[in-house]
Amino acid sequence: MTGRLRYFSVLLGLASFATVAGAASIRGTALPSAPLAGGPRPLASDVVVWLESVPERSERELALGRRGWFLGRRRTPPKPRLVAKHLQFQPRVLVLAVGDTLLLRNEDRVWHGSFSLSPAHQFDLGKLAPGRSERLTFREPGLVQVRCDIHPDMSMNMVVAPNHAFTRPDRTGQWRLPELPEGSYVLHAWAPGLRELRREVSLPRRGEVAVELRW
């Protein structure tokens, strides 16, 4: 490595460290209960956690992808994808941000007719042949339930978040949002069959804030 290249590598590393050092994060646990209307208890990993709003600069950074520890290189976020397979939608819970485009692919050997009557985003893709794909772009935030007009038992839920500051818990219910600048934030959480939770969080300049989400 030449001297000039080494110099710029050090600068990139310092810039990445400075960004992390000047930010804090919100983490916590998610403990979903059984729905009051009946039905199975959602898994902790079915929960979606997101922030109502974030600074514009933070949203631009998150939309490009979160930075890794090595020289601040970005990890490009995966493109949202929904698959019809074995007469089921996979995954059964999905989160994406306003402006994102969803790829919906039929990997079954039968036709499917995906649609939604949800107020946040109503659509009808018509009949989708095996092996074919469609794309949907979401312009408004909200909860969207997707069903199939050929197979009534097929359904899934997605959250269209207002920005890219969202996350999903692991199987034990542990979750962490991306690092953000100091300030006041409004946190939302939802799981299939449960009401949407809302929490106000004050984030310090450095460190982290723990929030327990219990239904």
In this structure, are residues 114 and 122 in contact, taking their beta carbons and an 8 Å threshold? no
Q: What domains can you pick out in the chain, each with its CATH number?
A: 25-64+77-214 (2.60.40.420)
* 93-146 confidence digits (pLDDT tens): 999 999 999 999 999 999 999 999 999 999 999 999 999 999 999 999 999 999
* 134-178 confidence digits (pLDDT tens): 999 999 999 999 999 999 999 999 999 999 999 999 999 999 999
pLDDT of res. 14? 39
pLDDT of res. 74? 60
Give whole-number Cα distances, 149 to 127, 165, 173, in Å.
9, 33, 33
* 9-52 confidence digits (pLDDT tens): 433 443 443 344 458 999 999 999 999 888 889 999 999 999 99
Average pLDDT, the chain: 89
CA nearest neighbour of 198 among 49, 12, 30, 31: 49
Q: What is the pTM of this model?
A: 0.84
Per DSSP, the three-state class of 64 is helix
Model confidence band, residue 8 (pLDDT cutoffs 50, 70, 90): very low
Give whole-number Cα distances, 167 to 28, 60, 72, 127, in Å.
11, 17, 20, 32
